[in-house]
């Protein structure tokens, strides 16, 4: 049995301190309730690194999520305090930063550009020269000066190495000057040398920047482990050791399990508590031997937490807009690549329907269907946005939680760029295919383009909404299904009135049904003389298709088959088509339809914004209820001292 440890004297004065006491996390209810972590306590202060280690399934991720106030499926209990104050989402936002296990940099921005953006948001009070100096200092501090102009890269684009990316993530976090940084597995996926170099930079950041660092780590090498000040080892959700990393070897001795020569204490201890290597009873003995130590009753004196103000809202929007513009220029995925894809796809359809380029009776229906393909196919390619934005939104959620900017600033910046890009995409989609190849009526080019751009924007907003689904595949399927519903219920295949409820809602809420009538109107309305089928000349003589009286609407002879003659002028054609395809209408109010399209797009955008804000604000503060008397005013635990074991 290991003796109870009195612990070293916690410094009575320190800059900042984060404590977590008596932490417990449970999922499920009643008989199915399961405790994932329990009885976990620890503390970390400025300048020190606390590592949370444990074999796979020990509860590191659960604990890290709980400490960073991330909402999860279960209930968190315990007391978290920063400088003695209850740890709230607001305190987290102001004074903490999180470095996720998977870096989420914009692949096409360089290390310097990433830091320039984070610095101008976090340190907005500095002038341009001071900010540039701050970026230089961060680059130098994290050893990134030599690769400052290298883009971050991703699986497809070469860029920074894994270790450099991790250091860039740390540098971005440091640009906030946080009191506390949480790191999730900072060395995972790195080779031994890169992991050791990360450790060096972490130590330096803690001591030079006076940051408290708390990180989870799976299996540290000796070099990495020796960089930690304190360590908390978990197994089966319980603490197996908490104290100075340097004292772990002695603790193993006291357990009667000395560290074998050539092994690191961390490696040895992790084997002692790993159920894959030892029996549950043997692991249980190690866990039972651990005695948590009560903290000293002394009150601490802390330096005041720095006053951090988020950049003013217009500045946030402006910085994000600049970042997004830069990305649009450098990253072809989102817009430039799609513009080319639209051009190629629509050119294909224009060539397939090449005979319809001559406006004559036999080709009018083909021309209408060509319009449908020119509209429908690029709309479906909005799925690319769901894919691209799913990655981006993960970074946005994290940055918003870390207080870099407000989610509405991001939505505004994104929308300000998105709107002109929709016009650009519309021109790419129809410019050459519709007007050069298919010879559409150019007199309404501007109106046609604007309605088309509005329709694309509505789909873009739907794609954005789908990108919020955490499962990318479900997001993409969600978008494609919505697009398909829009296509099916656009009014060509089914009359609105024939669609049963609740499916009829699709005919009102989705964009194609509102864009298609206007686009056909703009294409056909100005044709003054349409040649073709012989029947048409007879028809004219018979008086059909004439304007009734002076101002009446055009009409078609009741006994005339549409395939014989659809009309000699654009308005007549619109009337004829409208008899078969209900949504085509000579009397369509294009302004009204455009406003409805706009309202649909704005509706989807508002839905997206609300959901994004909800995701960004999903936090869970552990409750202290139901944890007994000690939980009401828990004391932070004392660090174990090497000499005390
Ligand atoms: N939502 C949940 N419902 C039920 N059990 C869960 C849930 N989340 C996690 N667990 C369980 O809690 C335990 C701890 O999981 P956690 O992900 O924290 O482990 P870990 O230490 O981070 O492991 P690794 O290093 O492999 O990531 C595991 O046994 C896991 O199966």
Q: Sorting pLDDT into bands at 50, 70 and 90, what band is 592?
A: very high
From atom 12 of ligand 1, which residue's Cα is the shortest distance away?
36
CA of 59 to the centre of ligand 1 (A): 5
Domain boundaries, the chain: 19-280, 313-522+594-616
Token pair 């360590």 is found at 231
Q: CA 509 to CA 492: how far, in whole Å?
A: 16
Ligand 1: atom nearest CA of 54 is: 21
Residues in contact with ligand 1 (CB, 6 Å cut-off): 27, 34, 36, 54, 56-62, 73, 218
- Which of 58, 215, 283 has the most ligand 1 atoms within 8 A of CB, as the residue to mutate? 58
Closest CA to 121 of 204, 182, 179, 177: 177
- β-pair type (34-45, 17-27): antiparallel
Q: Please tell me the distance between residue 63's alpha carbon and the centre of ligand 1 in angstroms.
A: 10
Residue tagged 């540290």 (tokens):
220
Which of 49-58, 483-492, 573-582 bottoms out in mean pLDDT, i.e. has the lowest?
Answer: 573-582
pLDDT tens digits, 605-633: 999 999 999 999 988 888 875 554 444 44
Burial 65-93 (b: 16+ CB within 10 A, else e): bbbbbbeeebbbbbbbbbbeeebebebbb
Q: Name the residue with the closest Cα to ligand 1, atom 13.
A: 57
Atom number in ligand 1 closest to CA 27 = 3
Shortest CA distance to 515 belongs to which of 607, 435, 437, 592? 592
Q: How far apart, in whole angstroms, are the C-alpha atoms of residue 151 and residue 158?
A: 8
Residue 79 phi, psi (nearest 5)? -120, 120
pLDDT for 632: 42
Smallest CA separation from ligand 1 atom 6, residue:
36
Atom of ligand 1 nearest to the CA of 218: 25
CA–CA separation, 434 vs 13, rounded Å? 74
Alpha-carbon distance 264 to 192, whole Å?
A: 15
* 189-235 per-position pLDDT tens digit: 777 887 888 888 888 888 888 899 999 988 888 888 888 999 999 98
Distance from residue 472's CA to the centre of ligand 1 (Å): 22
Cα(62) to centroid(ligand 1), Å: 6
- What per-residue confidence (pLDDT) applies to 566? 80
Considering only 18-27, 108-117, 452-461, 549-558, which range has the smallest mean pLDDT? 549-558
d(CA 61, ligand 1 centre) in Å = 7
The protein residue with its alpha carbon nearest to ligand 1, atom 29, reads 57
Q: Is the pLDDT of residue 96 over 90?
A: yes
Task: List, for residues 4-49, the tens digit of each pLDDT value.
Answer: 333 344 445 568 899 999 999 999 888 888 999 999 999 999 999 9
Report ipTM for this prediction: 0.96
Q: Say which CATH superfamily domain 19-280 falls into.
A: P-loop containing nucleotide triphosphate hydrolases (3.40.50.300)
Ligand 1 atom closest to Cα of 185? 25
What's the pLDDT score for residue 28? 87
Count Cβ atoms within 10 A of the Cβ of residue 558 and give its class: 0-12 exposed, 13-18 middle, 19 or more buried: exposed
């Amino acid at each position: 049995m290991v003796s109870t440890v009195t612990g070293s004297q916690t410094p009575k004065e320190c800059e900042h301190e984060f404590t977590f006491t008596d932490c417990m996390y449970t999922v499920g209810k009643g008989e199915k309730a399961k405790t994932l972590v329990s009885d976990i306590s620890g503390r970390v202060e400025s300048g020190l690194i606390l590592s949370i280690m444990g074999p796979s399934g020990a509860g590191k991720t659960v604990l890290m999520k709980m400490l960073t106030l991330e909402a999860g499926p279960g209930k968190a209990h315990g007391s978290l305090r920063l400088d003695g104050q209850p740890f709230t989402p607001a305190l987290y936002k102001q004074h903490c930063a999180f470095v996720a296990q998977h870096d989420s940099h914009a692949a096409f921005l360089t290390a310097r550009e990433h830091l320039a953006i984070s610095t101008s948001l976090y340190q907005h009070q500095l002038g341009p020269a001071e900010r540039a100096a701050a970026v230089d200092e961060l680059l130098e501090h994290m050893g990134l000066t030599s690769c400052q102009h290298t883009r971050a890269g991703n699986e497809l684009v070469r860029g920074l190495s894994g270790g450099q990316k991790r250091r860039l993530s740390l540098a971005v976090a440091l640009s906030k000057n946080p009191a506390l940084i949480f790191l999730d597995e900072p060395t995972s996926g790195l080779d031994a040398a890169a992991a050791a170099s990360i450790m060096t930079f972490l130590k330096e950041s803690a001591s030079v920047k006076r940051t408290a660092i708390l990180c989870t780590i799976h299996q540290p090498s000796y070099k990495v482990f020796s960089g930690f000040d304190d360590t908390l080892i978990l197994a089966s959700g319980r603490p197996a050791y908490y104290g100075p990393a340097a004292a772990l070897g002695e603790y193993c001795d006291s357990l009667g399990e000395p560290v074998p020569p050539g092994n690191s204490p961390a490696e040895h201890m992790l084997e002692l508590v790993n159920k894959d290597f030892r029996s549950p009873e043997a692991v249980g003995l190690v866990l039972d031997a651990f005695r948590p130590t009560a903290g000293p009753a002394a009150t601490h004196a802390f330096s005041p937490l720095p006053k951090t103000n988020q950049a003013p809202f217009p500045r946030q929007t402006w910085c994000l807009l600049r970042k997004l513009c830069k990305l649009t220029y450098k990253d072809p995925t989102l817009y430039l690549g799609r513009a080319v894809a639209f051009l190629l796809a629509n050119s294909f359809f224009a060539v397939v329907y090449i005979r319809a380029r001559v406006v004559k009776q036999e080709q009018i229906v083909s021309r209408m269907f060509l319009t449908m393909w020119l509209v429908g196919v690029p709309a479906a390619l909005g799925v690319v946005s769901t894919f691209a934005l799913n990655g981006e939104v993960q970074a946005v959620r994290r940055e918003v939680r870390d207080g870099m900017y407000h989610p509405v600033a991001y939505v505004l910046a994104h929308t300000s760029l998105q709107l002109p890009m929709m016009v650009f995409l519309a021109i790419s989609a129809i410019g050459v295919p519709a007007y050069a190849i298919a010879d559409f009526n150019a007199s309404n080019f501007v109106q046609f383009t604007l309605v088309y751009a509005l329709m694309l924007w509505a789909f873009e907003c739907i794609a954005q909404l789908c990108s919020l689904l955490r499962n990318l595949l479900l997001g993409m399927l969600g978008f494609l299904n919505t697009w398909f519903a829009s296509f099916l219920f656009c009014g060509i295949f089914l009359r609105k009135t024939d669609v049963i409820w609740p499916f009829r809602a699709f005919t009102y809420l989705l964009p194609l049904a509102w864009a298609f009538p206007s686009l056909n109107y703009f294409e056909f309305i100005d044709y003054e003389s349409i040649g073709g089928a012989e029947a048409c000349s007879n028809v004219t003589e018979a008086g059909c298709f004439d304007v009734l009286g002076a101002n009446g609407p055009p009409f078609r002879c009741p006994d005339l088959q549409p395939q014989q003659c659809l009309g000699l002028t654009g308005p007549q054609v619109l009337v004829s088509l409208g008899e078969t395809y209900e949504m085509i209408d000579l009397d369509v109010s294009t302004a009204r339809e455009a406003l409805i399209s706009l309202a649909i797009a704005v509706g989807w955008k508002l839905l997206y914004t609300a959901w994004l804000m909800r995701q960004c604000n999903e936090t869970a503060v552990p409750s202290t209820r139901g944890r007994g008397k000690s939980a009401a005013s828990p004391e932070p635990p004392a660090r174990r001292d090497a000499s005390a074991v």
